[in-house]
């Protein structure tokens, strides 16, 4: 069970899409949705390195 302060880390190694047939990679404008029932949802849109927000 998750406890307060638990960190959830997900992902794949770089190039994992290369193993798909045909190869598939995230591209500018793609949306990634992650949801956990009872917790919430996060949505991210892929942007180019040049267009990323800067602090």
What would the pLDDT profile of 2-41 be if each residue is shown by its tens digit?
899 998 877 777 777 888 889 888 899 999 998 989 999 9
**What residue numbers bound the domain in which 49 lies?**
27-55
- Among 24, 4, 8, smallest CA distance to 16 is for 24
CA atoms within 13 A on the CB side of 15: 0
Is residue 1 included in any domain, yes or no? no
Instruction: Give Rg (Cα) of the chain.
Output: 15
Is residue 50 included in any domain, yes or no? yes
Is residue 5 included in any domain, yes or no? no
Report the percentage of the chain scoring pLDDT > 70: 100
Q: Using CA atoms, how far apart are residues 19 and 40, in angstroms rounded to an integer?
A: 31
Is residue 51 included in any domain, yes or no? yes
H or E element at residue 31:
strand 31-36
**Tens-place pLDDT, residues 33-54:** 989 899 999 999 999 988 887 8
Is residue 55 included in any domain, yes or no? yes
How much is the pTM? Answer: 0.55
């Amino acid at each position: 069970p998750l406890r307060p302060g638990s960190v959830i880390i997900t992902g794949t190694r770089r190039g994992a899409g290369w193993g798909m047939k045909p190869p598939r990679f995230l591209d500018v404008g793609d949306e990634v949705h992650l949801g956990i029932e009872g917790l919430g949802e996060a949505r991210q849109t892929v942007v180019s390195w040049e267009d990323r927000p800067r602090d």
